[in-house]
Amino acid sequence: MAIIAVPQLTDNFAYLIIDDSSKECGVVDCAEAAKVLDEAKRQGVNLTTVLSTHWHFDHVGGNKDLLAAIPNLRIYGAKAEHGRIPGITDAIDDGDEVRVGGLRGRAIGIPAHTSGHVAYYFPTLKSVFSGDTLFIAGCGRLFEGGAATMLQSLSKLAALPDDTKVYCGHEYTVKNLEFALTLEPGNKILAAKHQWAKQMRREGKWTVPSTIGDEKRFNPFLRTESPEIRANLTRIAPEVDNDNVKIFAKIRELKDRY
């Protein structure tokens, strides 16, 4: 069992999920098929499955090319994406099982960035693939859902065990942490993570994965209850009035403009 990040485009990640016993692998999101096929070959595994988190081009733009190379490829994606995932063979709902060789995972419906965005959770790998919903120290933009929906989606991910690794769709970490520090400058764990992330990027390394437990310690979108965040927000925007959804919406709005 292994998870391998395959960089795509400028800051996207595809992830290979390898099942050692069957030598099968799946890929979570694919924008550039050639890079994914090359990595599967390098690992000596057969790509049999695509797990699409949502319909955006930078996550599914490689599906058609993968299908051309592997005609019997299985492509999972949410029904609630309403046919926008190219090449989809297995339309899934929240809670449905997904398989990669002998590995079993499940789809978690986490709408708001898109109407049918899903995460893929593999308990035996202690890993969740969160697409553009939960980033390290950030969350996705609200394109097809409101703040209340995104809060609910994030809380489903936050309810996973703390030691669950988080593999997200983009390398946005340093910028996210920088923004988080504007709201919670007194959070020492956040400041330390920022220093660490900058160092990793200087060394040309990625910052994935994170963990659910760590995200709860520094991700402002999971910390709407933080007294420091609340105090700072109330100063900028008194109308948020200690209301969780309003606080979340305000943080999202500030981040959109950051």
**Interface contacts to Zn ion, rule CB under 5 A:** 56, 132
Which of 21, 78, 28, 34 is closest to 49 using CA atoms?
28
CA angle at 155 for the pair 153 and 156, rounded to the nearest 5°: 65
Q: In the window 168-197, what residues touch Fe ion (CB under 5 A)?
A: 169
Residue 132 vs 215, nearer CB to Fe ion: 132
Nearest to 100 by CA among 1, 170, 31: 1
Nearer to Zn ion, 56 or 252 (CB): 56
Q: Which of 44-52, 122-130, 163-171, 187-195 is the region at the interface with Fe ion (rule: CB under 5 A)?
A: 163-171
Nearest approach in angstroms of CB 140 to Zn ion is 6
Which of the stretches 34-42, 50-58, 172-180, 187-195 binds Fe ion when contact is defined by CB under 5 A?
A: 50-58
End-to-end CA distance of the chain: 39
Tokens of 66: 């993968």
Among 132, 171, 184, 214, binds Fe ion (CB under 5 A): 132
Which of 58, 171, 184, 215 binds Fe ion (CB under 5 A)? It is 58
- The answer to whether the beta carbons of residues 213 and 163 sit under 8 Å apart is yes
Structure tokens given for 140:
């996705």
Q: How far is the CB of 141 from Zn ion (least distance, A)?
A: 8
Nearest-approach distance from CB 54 to Zn ion, in angstroms: 6
